[in-house]
Chain A
Amino acid sequence: MGFHQFGQACLELLTLDDLPTLLIPGVNSKKHQMCFDWGPGEMLVCETSFNKKEKSEMVPSCPFIYIIRKDVDVYSQVLRKLFNESHGIFVGLQRIEEELTGKSRKSQLVRVSKNYRSVIRACMEEMHQVAIAAKDPASGRQFSSQVSILSAMELIWNLCEILFIEVAPAGPLLLHLLDWVRLHVCEVDSLSADVLGSENPSKHESFWNLPGNTQTLTELELKWQHWHEECERYLQDCTFASNPHLESLCKIMLGDEAALLEQKELLSNWYHFLVTRLLYSNPTVKPIDLQYYAQSSLDLFLGGESSPEPLDNILMAAFEFDIHQVIKECSIALSNWWFVAHLTDLLDHCKLLQSHNLYFGSNMREFLLLEYASGLFAHPSLWQLGVDYFDYCPELGRVSLELHIERIPLNTEQKALKVLRICEQRQMTEQVRSICKILAMKAVRNNRLGSALSWSIRAKDAAFATLVSDRFLRDYCERGCFSDLDLIDNLGPAMMLSDRLTFLGKYREFHRVYGEKRFADAASLLLSLMTSQIAPRSFWMTLLTDALPLLEQKQVIFSAEQTYELMQCLEDLTSGKPVHGGSDTQQCQDDDIETTKVEMLRLALARNLARAIVREGSLEGS
C-alpha cells in the first residue's frame, strides 16, 4: 500500500474536506476501532476494541494487521538508477556551492539542471523498455503510466529551468519555450504540425539570428513589427481572398487566436497553443507578461469543456513565477519526494527561495530533503544515499540521521561495519556505542566470544567486557585452553577497559611467558595477579594451582619472599572459606578435593620456601 500524501500539508492548512483518506478494507463494524502503532519505517493498523472488557463479545473480528508503508517507490528497480545518479548530482552541487560565483554561476547551475533532466530521461527510456517487455498487460500499463509521470516531471523541470534558472530575458525567452514545446509536445509529429510549428519558426530563427548576435531587442522588435504590419496589410487587401488556406495561414501568422484554435487538433495541448500564439503575436514577450497569455491560452484551449488537470495547474503556477505553488502542487501530485526535493534544492542554490514569501524560505528545502532521505532509509541499500542528504540539512539533518541510522538492521558484519564507519566519521559516539553493544550481545548469544569481546571494546562498554571476560575464563576452566588467542594477545591498551579484561589479558600473558620457559617472569606475573587484586577471588585457587608446576621445578623459581606472599594468599583464601557442614555427598567430595589441593599447595610452598632460603642463604654467604 502506498501512502504518499504524508506531510505535504505542512505547506498549508487544510480542512478535513481536503484530507486524503486511505481506506483500509475490513469489517465495517461500528463497534470496533482501529489500533495502530508506528514501526521504524511504516505504520501498523488493525481492528480492535478499546473498551476493555474481560469477556470478549463473540463477534468475529478481523485477524489482519495492515502494514502501511509510505515510500513504496523506493523499491522500484528502474527508479533506483534515478535515485543513485541524482544523488551524485546532488552531492556535487552541494560541494561546488562555494565555487559558484559571478557570471559562470548561472551557466553552471543550468548545467546541473540539465544533468538532472538527462537522468530523468534516461530513466524514462529504461522504464519504456520495461513497459514494452512486460509480460502481462496490467504491469505493462503500470510501467507505461510511470513513463508518463516521468515525462511530466521532465516537462515541468524543463520549464522551471527556463523560467527560473536560465531566467531568459524578453527576447530569447520565446526561443527557449519553442524548444521546450518542440521537445516535449511535437514528439508526436505530424506533417501539418510541422507546418504550423517548425516551418515558420525556422524562418524566424534566421530572423532572430543565432545567440550571440549583436542586434538589440529593440531592433528585433522593430523588424518584427514591420513584418507583422506587412502581413496585416496583405490580409486587409484581401490578397489571399481566393485561397482560404493561405488566408487562414496569414491569420495564424498574425497570431489570430480563433484561426489558431481552428487547428486545435494539431495542437496537442494549451501550452503548445500558448507558445504558437506568442510566436505570432508577441515574440518578444516579457517574462512578466507570460502569465496573462498563459491563463488566457488555457481558458481558450479548454473552452469550458474540461477543467485543468494537476499538470496544467503546475505549469500555470510556473508561468506565474509562483515557485511555492509549483512545489506545493508537485508535492501533492507526485508519489514520492524525489522531484520536489531535488528541484527545490537546486532553486535554493539559485537563491530563489529567499526572494519569495519568506514563510518557509530555505526551511522548505530542508523539510523536503528530510522527507526524501527518510524514505530512502526504508530500503536495505539505498539508505546509504540518504546519509548524504541528511548531511546537507544543517538544522535537523544530524539528529534525523542519528534516529534513522540506529534502526538499520545489522544482518551482516559488513553492513554493521559500514554503519559504524558512517557514525564514527560524524562523531556520533552514542550511536556507535549502542550499535556495538547490540552486536556484542548478538555475538555472545551465538557463542562467538572473541567477536563479542572486540565489539564491547569498541563500544567502550566495561560492564559487557567484564561479562565476556568472565565467559572466557569460565571456558578456560572447563576446557583448559583459550579460544581467540589472537585477540587476547593483542589487546594492547584496550585491556584497561575493565579489571576483568585486564586480568584476562595478563593471565593469558602468564601462560605465554610460561610457554616460553621464562619461568622467573611467569612466576612474578602470577604472583602480581593475586597481590594486585585484579584477579577475582574465585580464580585464586586456579592461579595457585597454576603455581604448582613452578614450585615443583628442579630449580628454585619463587624467591623466599615471593613464597611467603603466596602462602599468605593461600591462607587468605582458606580462612575466608565458610565451613561446609552439609550432608551432601557431592559437597563432601568437593570438600575433599579442596582439602587435598590445599594440602598439596601447602607442602609445595613449604618445600619451595626451604629451598629458597637455602639458596639465598648460600648466595649471600659466598
Chain B
Amino acid sequence: TVDTSHEDMIHDAQMDYYGTRLATCSSDRSVKIFDVRNGGQILIADLRGHEGPVWQVAWAHPMYGNILASCSYDRKVIIWREENGTWEKSHEHAGHDSSVNSVCWAPHDYGLILACGSSDGAISLLTYTGEGQWEVKKINNAHTIGCNAVSWAPAVIPGSLIDQPSGQKPNYIKKFASGGCDNLIKLWKEEEDGQWKEEQKLEAHSDWVRDVAWAPSIGLPTSTIASCSQDGRVFIWTCDDASGNTWSPKLLHKFNDVVWHVSWSITANILAVSGGDNKVTLWKESVDGQWVCISDVNKGQGSVSASVTEGQQNEQ
C-alpha cells in the first residue's frame, strides 16, 4: 500500500512506464508523485497549481523525459516536467470553458501529443513543437453536452515494414477515440492537412459514455475498443482492419449500475472494469471469442458472500 496522505478523495493513480513511480491526483487539488521501487514509498513531489479537484494524470513516454499531464475541474490542463531532479510546471493550457475530464498521451511514435476532453464538449490536442512551445488544435463540439474520455489508437506503421531512411518520419495515420454525453463514441483521424476529422460514430449506448479505452496492439490485424456507460453496459468493439471501417460491438456485460472506468492491461489480454457496485472485475477473451470474467477485486469489509451476491449472473 502507498499512503498518499491526500486530504481528500483520490481520483486517479497511474504508474509510470517502468512501474517505478506512482502519480496520484485528488480533490485536494494536488498532484503527488512517489518513488515506489522495492515496495517502498518516497514522496518525490507535491505539485500545486490546480484550483479545483484534479481528475486525471497521465505519464508521457520516457523518451521525452519525465513528463506528467494533469487535468482538472478548474478547466485547465497542466504539463509538469522534471528538470535537474525537481518537478515544475512546464506548461498550462487554459483553452476550455469547462471542467477538463480526461487527458491521454498519444503513442510516442507520433511525437509528444496530448489529447484533452472537456465538459464544454470540445477536445483539444496539444503538440510539443520544441523550445517549450505547444501547438494547440481544438475540435469544438466534439460531443454535445460534454466529452468524458479520450483514448489513442496504438501506432501502426502503415504500408511495408522496410526501414525508413533516417531523418524521415514514417507517415502514421493518427487516430483516437472519444466518449461523450451524447451517448456516442467517436473515432477521429488526422487528415493530411493536419486537421482532425470525425471518421466514425459508434452508437450502442443509451446513456452517457463514461470511458473509452483502445486496446494495445498485439500484432493482430484487428483493432479493439472497450467502452462503458451510465447505462450499465460495457461493449467491446472490434474492427477487422483488412476490411476497413466496420466496427462491430459485442456486449461484454450489463451491470446493475453505472460503469465508470475500463482499462486494458499492458499486454492487452485482460480488461478491468470498474462498476458502481464497489467492484472491479477482470475479463479475458477466451479461445472461442467469448469474454469471460476471471476475477473480482472487491473493496470493503463485510462478508464475501454479501459482495459477491450483488449483480451475480452467469457469464457467457
A and B form one complex: yes
State whether A38 touches B10 (Cβ < 8 A): no
B160 at the interface (CB under 8 A from A): no
CB contacts (< 8 Å) of A43 on chain B: these are 272, 297
State whether B9 touches A17 (Cβ < 8 A): no
Binds A, one of B61-69, B87-95, B182-190, B236-244: B61-69
Task: Decide if the interface of chain A is mainly helix, strand, loop or mixed.
Answer: mixed
Binds B, one of A197-205, A399-407, A534-542: A399-407
State whether B297 touches A10 (Cβ < 8 A): no
A39 to B23, CA, bound (A): 11
> CB-defined interface of A401-445 with B at 8 Å, one 1/0 digit per residue?
011101111000000000000000000010000100110111001
Give which listed residue, A63, A68, A498, contacts B5 with CB less than 8 A: A63
Give which listed residue, A6, A408, A409, contacts B270 with CB less than 8 A: A6
State whether A68 touches B167 (Cβ < 8 A): no
CB contacts (< 8 Å) of A442 on chain B: these are 62
State whether A403 touches B314 (Cβ < 8 A): no
CB contacts (< 8 Å) of B27 on chain A: these are 56
B203 at the interface (CB under 8 A from A): no
A535 to B24, CA, bound (A): 47
Among residues of B, the one whose C-beta sits closest to the C-beta of A30 is: B278
CB contacts (< 8 Å) of B163 on chain A: these are 429
> CB-defined interface of A207-238 with B at 8 Å, one 1/0 digit per residue?
00000000000000000000000000000000
CB contacts (< 8 Å) of A14 on chain B: these are 292-294, 315
Binds A, one of B11-19, B42-50, B121-129: B11-19
Among residues of B, the one whose C-beta sits closest to the C-beta of A39 is: B15
B105 at the interface (CB under 8 A from A): no
B216 at the interface (CB under 8 A from A): yes
CB contacts (< 8 Å) of B36 on chain A: these are 67
A171 at the interface (CB under 8 A from B): no
Binds A, one of B133-141, B194-202, B255-263: B255-263
Give which listed residue, B13, B63, B308, B315, contacts A35 with CB less than 8 A: B13
A255 at the interface (CB under 8 A from B): no
* B residues 240-273 in Cβ contact with A at 8 Å: 258, 260-261, 263-267, 270, 272
Our count of residue pairs bridging A and B at CB distance below 8 angstroms stands at: 251
State whether A10 touches B4 (Cβ < 8 A): no
Known: A13-B292, A403-B218. A40 touches B10 (CB 8 A): no
Known: A37-B12, A400-B267, A403-B266. A13 touches B280 (CB 8 A): no
Give which listed residue, A27, A64, A360, contacts B4 with CB less than 8 A: A64
- Size bracket of the A interface: 35 or more
State whether A63 touches B280 (Cβ < 8 A): no
> CB-defined interface of B25-54 with A at 8 Å, one 1/0 digit per residue?
001000000001000000000000000110
CB contacts (< 8 Å) of A44 on chain B: these are 13-15, 22
Give which listed residue, A23, A33, A440, contacts B260 with CB less than 8 A: A33
State whether B264 touches A5 (Cβ < 8 A): no
State whether A28 touches B63 (Cβ < 8 A): no
State whether A407 touches B296 (Cβ < 8 A): no
CB contacts (< 8 Å) of B266 on chain A: these are 38, 40, 403-404, 407
Give which listed residue, A9, A30, A50, contacts B284 with CB less than 8 A: A9
State whether B296 touches A19 (Cβ < 8 A): yes
State whether B272 touches A38 (Cβ < 8 A): yes
> CB-defined interface of B276-294 with A at 8 Å, one 1/0 digit per residue?
1011101010110010111
* B residues 293-308 in Cβ contact with A at 8 Å: 293-302, 304, 307-308
A-B contact pairs, 16 of them (CB 8 A): A9-B293, A19-B293, A23-B307, A25-B301, A35-B261, A37-B13, A40-B19, A52-B53, A52-B101, A56-B8, A63-B10, A398-B219, A407-B18, A409-B19, A441-B64, A498-B167
